[in-house]
Amino acid sequence: MKRLLHITAQRPEKTGSGTYLQAMMREADKKDYEQAFVAALNQGEEFEFTGDRKIAFYPVYFHTEELPFSIAGMTDIMPYESTKYRDMTEGMLQQWKNAFREVITRAVAEFKPDAIICHHLWILTAFVRELFPDITLAAVCHGTDLRQLVLAERFAGYVRKGCSRLDLAFALNDYQKDRIAEEYGIEPGRVHVIGSGYNAYIFHREDCRVNVNSVELVYAGKLNRAKGVVSLIRAVDGLDFYSRKVRLTIAGTGSGEEADAIYSAARECRHEVVFTGNLPQDRLSRLFRDSDIFILPSFYEGLPLVLIEAMASGLRVVTTDLPGVKGWIGMDINSSGIIEYVDMPEMEGIDIPFESELPGFEKRLREAIEIQFSRMLRHENADEDFVYESIKKLSWSGVFSTMENILDKTIEQNRES
């Protein structure tokens, strides 16, 4: 029976990569893998993974004497208090490495993994390769790591050197696969597309509400500039669905000036904007089933799992035409009318659009919402059962099966060599 050690430098929940981490652990648990995991928490916090088998947790605690600062986050605005990697001093980095070295070394000594799976091709993954050159090491790219190569460029050389020695890198789509090979110098044969998935037991179409007198719009994600939420609110402000009430529900959290700008835009919107904060997946699924159209206005994403979760919950979707998404979702869904793509604005930075581009982008966003509303009124998507069968193929069990087959072969090859 193989033994897998999962590692993330972030919390094991509250983020997309945390959802991915737990999903892989859950699927491995179903197949009776022995597992352990390393993740970050603040001092005094607890976390327990619930599965059929006991899974050992090795936490790295922040806001302690050894680590007297917040958990480092892969985006500038995290759903919890965080430190930006680019703001870490050399002293902070050394404290951070010392803490993770101690915990990961203990986890490896006690658990004796056959393979380690890291999340994000970033500093910790490079560090793990340095610490354990002889253990099969794979890492999942979530897109934010490619972004950090630009935002925290002073770490890029160290990261590229360490990650180039990975046994395997898992990409979320074909576009990302090419970027990984190019950016990290990893042989293309060691980079594999495994995609992303959703929990079909939580996100489903049962008990969907039919809204007669209102149009319920929903967004779920972080409250920051890169997600395009201000532009979404401005687009919604221009909607007119005749006698129907328009309401936008925003599920997620943020902090600082970027979140304040979103709250300010919401106050100025002529339609109702409701903020729910972070929601557990069961409540998010209920919100989706109570809504009509999901909108993702992001300027940058790795692979937005929430799109599939929304469609699996019976929602029509509007999303920016993010690199790699169309290929991941597939022709059957793309041609069904259940999803409408919006051209991105011209960008002056990796996730910063030119201000002059925003009015045109917001107009396109509004028009896409209107298209989906019209389809909703006409009860389009005649082949919706066929469409939902295509959606179901993008579940976590399929993702893990792909990962498992590739990982098992690599473990065996490393043992023989």
Query: Quick one: pLDDT at residue 388?
Result: 78
Q: Using one digit for the tens of pLDDT, what is the confidence trace for 150-190?
A: 999 999 999 999 999 999 999 988 889 999 999 999 999 99
Q: What values do phi and psi take at 248, rounded to 5?
A: -110, 120
Summarize the confidence of residues 248-263 as an average pLDDT.
93
56 or 15, greater pLDDT: 56
> 290 Cβ partners below 8 Å, 6+ apart?
208, 209, 211, 216
Whether residue 328 has pLDDT greater than 60: yes
In single-letter form, the type of residue at position 176 comes to: Q
- CB-count exposure of residue 261 (10 Å: 0-12, 13-18, 19+): middle
Instruction: Report residue 313's pLDDT band, with 50, 70 and 90 as the boundaries.
Output: very high
Q: What is the CATH number of domain 214-392?
A: 3.40.50.2000
DSSP class of 335: T
Query: Quick one: pLDDT at residue 63?
Result: 97
Whether residue 191 has pLDDT greater than 90: yes
Query: Quick one: pLDDT at residue 392?
Result: 77
Do domains 3-197+395-416 and 214-392 share one topology? The answer is yes
Q: Do 100 and 122 form a contact (C-beta atoms < 8 A)?
A: no
Q: How far does CA 224 lie from the centroid of its chain?
A: 14
H or E element at residue 215: strand 214-220
**Among the listed residues 57, 85, 95, the one whose alpha carbon sits nearest the alpha carbon of residue 151:** 85
- Give me the residues paired with residue 214 across strands: 245
Percentage helix, strand, coil for the chain under 3-state DSSP, each rounded to 5: 45, 20, 35
Q: Using one digit for the tens of pLDDT, what is the confidence trace for 37-60?
A: 999 999 999 998 877 788 999 999
Q: Do 8 and 125 form a contact (C-beta atoms < 8 A)?
A: no
DSSP class of 46: -
Q: Using one digit for the tens of pLDDT, what is the confidence trace for 357-398?
A: 999 999 999 999 999 999 988 876 545 677 777 887 788 988
Query: Quick one: pLDDT at residue 382?
Result: 46
Whether residue 298 has pLDDT greater than 70: yes
Whether residue 281 has pLDDT greater than 70: yes
> What percent of the chain is predicted at pLDDT more than 90?
73
What global pTM score does this model have?
A: 0.76
Whether residue 261 has pLDDT greater than 50: yes
Whether residue 268 has pLDDT greater than 80: yes
Whether residue 317 has pLDDT greater than 60: yes
Please count the other Cβ atoms lying within 10 Å of the Cβ belonging to residue 357. 15
281 or 36, greater pLDDT: 36
**Among the listed residues 166, 160, 131, the one whose alpha carbon sits nearest the alpha carbon of residue 146:** 160
Summarize the confidence of residues 229-233 as an average pLDDT.
97
Give me the residue spans of the domains in the chain.
Answer: 3-197+395-416, 214-392
Please provide the average confidence, as pLDDT, over all residues in the chain: 93
Provide the CATH topology of domain 3-197+395-416.
Rossmann fold (3.40.50)
Structure tokens at 322: 């993010």
Instruction: Report residue 320's pLDDT band, with 50, 70 and 90 as the boundaries.
Output: very high
